[in-house]
Amino acid sequence: MTDRKKKTAIGHFIDTLNNEDIEFKEESVDTTHEDLKAVIKKPKIRPSVLTDLDKDFEFELPSGKNVKLTPMLLDVRDCKIWNKNTRIQDFLTEANTQDLKDKIKVQGQLVPVLARPIDDPNYKYEIIYGSRRFFVCKSLGLKIKALVGTIDDLDSIYFMDAENAEREKPSAYEVGMSYKSWLRDGLFKNQTDIASHFGVTREWINRVIRISALPIEIVSCFKAPSELQPTKATRLISFYESLDNKEQDKVLALAKSLKGKDLESSDIINRIYSVKSEQGRTNNSSFESANRFIQDSRNRKVCKITTRSNGKVNIVFEKEMKQADISAILERLEKTILELL
């Protein structure tokens, strides 16, 4: 049996949304939306099983503050995606959300999204999590079921992270982009702060931030960013950075030409690698990806881990270790190797 990460209080709360009967209060209809009734009637979707509960949720946030979450039925035209949402919206397509679309057509939207009111001349609400459900409901012309409350950015991140753990997880590229955004905006002090809040290693944070340096043109030519797995992505960014400017331009042009084509990820990667001349690829067949280091209790780099394009991993112990450090270092080494597999 595979060990599962222990659920947080937010995680348990999200789980209850699959089982609770919730009545979603209809927001007052904007009569300027002339096509509203016609749009709602189009899909023949059976009513959601979430009915018959007319009270709000009271929930204690990680910050210690209490929030009231009100079930509401929102017009998608009054909503936009929160700009700190981990999932990059440009990557959502009809093709990679078809599975969810089929479920909602048959079952309705069983699990609500989380939203908060905003002061914006064009929108009333911001979707904190549930962007795939939002994308599908918008495509189907449906209103979207939401739990609405006033939640600040930091608590919104906690909610979103817990919810993503229960759904289709964002890609390493998207996670890295989010980490950079959170650090840039001062939501977390440093990488150690992120690691302690979300139970990940600093090595993982460094890795996904490095992956997020991939040009958007390259990531966009895959069917979904999740197809670009961490190991492949790490090698790809190392390959790209090993090229000269002219070769990088060729890679970007190729990536643009591949966007939207129904190609397997391995085929795309091989085509990108082929940009390098045969001689160049021979000379650079063992180019190194980002080096990783493991530190001892005195913050000395005692172990260097290097991934090569041929899939080999080199591990070099650079300093003598104290007996007391060996167990901790081996544990960190094991975690790092598992991340590379």
pLDDT score recorded for residue 285: 43
Q: What would the mean pLDDT of 99-103 be, rounded to a whole number?
A: 92
Per-residue confidence at 22, pLDDT binned at 50, 70, 90? low
The answer as to whether 235 is a domain residue is yes
Same domain for 151 and 20? yes
Same structural domain, 129 and 261: no
Q: What is the pLDDT of residue 336?
A: 66
Residue 33 belongs to what H/E stretch? none
> Do residues 234 and 256 share a domain?
yes
pLDDT of 95 > 50? The answer is yes
Could you tell me the maximum CA-CA distance found in the chain, to the nearest angstrom? 74
The per-residue pLDDT of the chain, averaged, comes to 77
Q: Say whether both 320 and 232 belong to one domain.
A: no
- Are 41 and 181 in the same domain? no
Q: What is the pTM of this model?
A: 0.60
- Does pLDDT of 20 surpass 80? no
Give domain status of residue 221, yes or no.
Answer: yes
For residue 238, give the DSSP letter: H
pLDDT at 29 over 60: no
One domain, residues 335 and 255:
no
Q: What pLDDT is attached to residue 288?
A: 40
**67 phi, psi to nearest 5 deg:** -130, 145
Provide the percentage of residues in the chain whose pLDDT is more than 70.
70
User: Do both 277 and 189 map to the same domain?
Assistant: no
Shared domain check, 39 and 158: yes
pLDDT the model gives residue 340 = 55
Which residue among 242, 268, 285 closes a domain?
Answer: 285
Which residue in this structure is represented by tokens 């591949």? 258
7 vs 181, more confident: 181
pLDDT of residue 121: 94
Q: What is the CATH number of the domain that holds 39?
A: 3.90.1530.10
The set of residues, in sequence order, having a beta carbon less than 8 Å from that of 104 and lying 6+ positions away, is 45, 133, 136, 137, 140, 142
Mark which of 152, 184, 212 sits at the end of a domain.
212
Predicted pLDDT at 64: 77
Do 37 and 157 lie in a common domain?
Answer: yes
Number of domains in the chain: 4
Q: State the Cα–Cα distance between residues 39 and 331, nearest whole angstrom.
A: 56
Domain-located, residue 29 = yes
Q: In terms of domains, do 221 and 196 share one?
A: no
Q: How confident is the model at residue 242 (pLDDT cuts 50, 70, 90)?
A: confident
> Is there a domain that residue 311 lies in?
yes
Domain assignment present for 326: yes
Q: What tens digit of pLDDT does each residue of 34-62 get?
A: 332 332 222 222 223 333 335 677 777 76
Average pLDDT (284-296) is 56
Q: Compute the average pLDDT of residues 70-93.
A: 91
Q: Would you state the pLDDT for residue 283? A: 44
What tens digit of pLDDT does each residue of 260-287 get? 888 888 889 989 998 875 444 444 444 4
Q: In terms of C-beta density within 10 A (0-12 exposed, 13-18 middle, 19 or more buried), how is residue 45 classed?
A: middle
Residue 4 lies in a domain: no
103-119 exposure pattern, b = at least 16 Cβ within 10 A, e = fewer: ebeeebbebbbbbbeee
Residue 329: per-residue pLDDT: 73
In the structure encoding, which two tokens stand for residue 8, read together? 């947080």
Q: Is residue 274 part of a domain?
A: yes
110-162 pLDDT tens trace: 889 999 999 999 999 999 999 999 999 999 999 999 999 999 998 899 888 88
| Shared domain check, 239 and 90 | no
Mean pLDDT, residues 312-332: 71
Would you tell me the crossing angle of helices 323-340 and 230-242 to the nearest 10 degrees? Answer: 90
pLDDT band at 219 (very low <50, low <70, confident <90, very high): very high
| Reported confidence tier of residue 214, pLDDT bands at 50, 70, 90 | very high
Domain match, 28 and 156 both: yes
Q: Which domain holds residue 127?
A: 9-166
Indicate whether 1 belongs to any domain.
no
Span 217-232, average pLDDT: 89
User: What average pLDDT does range 97-111 have in this prediction?
Assistant: 90
- Asked if residue 3 has pLDDT above 70, the reply is no
Listed residue (57, 74, 75) closest to 66, CA to CA: 57
